[in-house]
């Protein structure tokens, strides 16, 4: 009979804190290496159905992978180049936009000063000083702020290499994992690998479809509203939806600022807010549930924490990859006994009793009708 060594509580807490600190050090210190690799893994899952389709129809794996990568990256880089060209038009228009914003801010300040009865002009002077310091700050350069960085260039160049080898050696990676697992646990390992593969492929392809639909909805809506640079703002707002929960809010900050500071009438702010509500409702209640589904099976609080932590560690790339990788950890937790508490914490099990579901809403209205009778 094996004896289990039970460490004191303080020692276990120390080990846990050491593990957390070491993980934080590795994730931050090797950010520029791990972030592109993590993105490469997700894009490999996105292109896997296409590569697998070509391979099943007679192409050698190397050719199938190359063709899938060429098609996939042509679409992605084509969209990136199109956004870059649209952003170039925005930069050309920036001096005029800045001038218009200054004029609108002056009008808003004057209206506020008249409303509160500030005859001395102190409010107007102080507000204009703050606005000028922001918009004309010597460190503020829109081209350098959004221009290519070394990290971005490295990611763009190395990504196809990562994707190719991840697709080409996928069986090798699977066998490597099985070699690490005792033979008696191979059934569990197969189940974990299959679950992770299924949820990641469905999540990535589903999110790509959702974002594509949102591009059409956003751009069409902004054009109908009459917002300046509607095409650029609509695409950026849609792409932000790769970040669950936060994405739509972050994406609509750009058109909201445009409506507040650049457009001629406050009605544009109202129209942008109305469109935000419509798009948010459509994305949360129609598109994501029916296209992406509940494959990640994470509870909302853990999704928010994962996105926040990912943004804290790796910025925007971290926010994008946080949810699928948290879902992978959930799968591990639900299939490995030692990690069961983590799987329970991340998943939706245990909150069903207090969740608001369609069945509960239907039951509530049926009960109300019966009570009236």
- Show Cβ contacts of residue 72 under 8 Å, excluding neighbours closer than 6 positions: 43, 46, 47, 50, 163
User: By the 8 A CB rule, do 71 and 211 touch?
Assistant: no
Q: How far apart are CA 189 and CA 82, in angstroms?
A: 43
pLDDT (tens digit, 0 to 9) for every residue of the chain, 373 residues total? 455 567 777 887 888 899 889 999 999 999 888 888 999 999 999 999 999 999 999 899 999 999 999 998 888 888 888 888 888 888 887 777 777 777 776 767 666 666 666 555 565 565 556 556 555 554 445 444 444 555 566 677 788 899 999 999 999 999 999 999 888 888 999 999 999 999 999 898 889 999 999 999 999 999 999 988 889 999 999 999 888 878 888 889 989 988 888 887 889 889 999 999 999 888 888 888 788 766 788 888 888 899 999 989 988 889 989 999 999 999 999 898 888 888 888 888 776 665 655 566 666 666 555 565 5
Q: How far apart are CA 310 and CA 349, in angstroms?
A: 24
Of 281, 341, 330, 335, whose CA–CA distance to 306 is shortest?
330
- Strand intervals (E) in 90-187: none
User: By the 8 A CB rule, do 68 and 160 touch?
Assistant: no
Of 358, 204, 218, whose CA–CA distance to 292 is shortest?
204
Q: How far apart are CA 236 and CA 66, in angstroms?
A: 29
Q: Model confidence over 162-191: pLDDT tens digits? A: 999 999 999 999 999 999 988 888 899 999
Model pTM score: 0.78
Q: How far apart are CA 305 and CA 287, in angstroms?
A: 23
Using DSSP's 3-state secondary structure scheme, residue 154 falls into: helix
Domain boundaries, the chain: 35-119+148-168, 195-293, 296-350
Q: Model confidence over 238-297: pLDDT tens digits? A: 999 888 878 888 889 989 988 888 887 889 889 999 999 999 888 888 888 788 766 788
What distances in angstroms separate CA 64 from CA 41, 56, 190, one per listed residue?
17, 9, 25
Q: How far apart are CA 238 and CA 228, in angstroms?
A: 17
Please give the torsion angle defined by the CA atoms of residues 220, 224, 228 and 232, in that order, rounded to the nearest 10 degrees: 0
Q: How far apart are CA 290 and CA 203, in angstroms?
A: 12
């Amino acid at each position: 009979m094996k004896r289990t060594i039970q460490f004191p509580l303080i020692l276990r807490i120390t080990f846990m804190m050491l593990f957390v600190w070491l993980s934080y050090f590795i994730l931050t210190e090797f950010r520029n290496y791990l972030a592109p690799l993590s993105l490469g893994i997700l894009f490999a899952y996105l292109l896997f159905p296409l590569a697998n389709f070509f391979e099943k129809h007679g192409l050698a794996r190397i050719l199938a992978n190359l063709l899938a990568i060429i098609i996939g990256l042509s679409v992605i880089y084509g969209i990136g180049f199109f956004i870059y060209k649209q952003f170039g038009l925005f930069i050309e228009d920036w001096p005029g936009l800045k001038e218009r914003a200054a004029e609108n801010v002056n009008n808003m300040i004057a209206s506020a000063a008249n409303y509160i009865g500030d005859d001395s002009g102190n409010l107007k002077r102080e507000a204009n000083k703050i606005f000028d310091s922001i918009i004309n700050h010597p460190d503020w350069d829109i081209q350098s702020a959004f221009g290519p960085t070394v990290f971005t260039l490295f990611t763009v160049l190395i990504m196809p290499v990562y994707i190719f080898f991840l697709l080409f050696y996928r069986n090798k990676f699977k066998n490597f994992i099985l070699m690490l697992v005792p033979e008696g646990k191979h059934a569990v390992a197969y189940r974990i690998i299959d679950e992770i593969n299924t949820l990641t492929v469905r999540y990535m392809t589903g999110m790509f479809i959702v974002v594509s639909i949102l591009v059409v909805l956003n751009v069409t809506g902004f054009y109908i509203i009459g917002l300046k640079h509607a095409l650029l703002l609509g695409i950026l707002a849609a792409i932000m939806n790769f970040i669950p929960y936060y994405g739509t809010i972050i994406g609509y900050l750009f058109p909201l600022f445009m409506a507040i500071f650049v457009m001629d009438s406050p009605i544009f702010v109202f129209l942008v807010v109305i469109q935000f509500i419509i798009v948010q409702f459509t994305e949360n209640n129609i598109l994501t549930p029916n296209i992406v589904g509940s494959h990640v099976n994470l509870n909302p609080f853990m999704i928010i924490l994962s996105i926040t932590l990912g943004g804290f560690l790796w910025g925007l790339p971290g926010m994008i990859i946080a949810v699928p990788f948290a879902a992978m950890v959930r799968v591990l937790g639900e299939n490995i006994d030692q990690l069961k508490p983590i799987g329970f914490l991340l998943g939706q099990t245990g909150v069903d009793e207090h969740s608001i579901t369609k069945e509960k809403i239907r039951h509530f209205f049926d009960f109300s009708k019966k009570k009236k009778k």
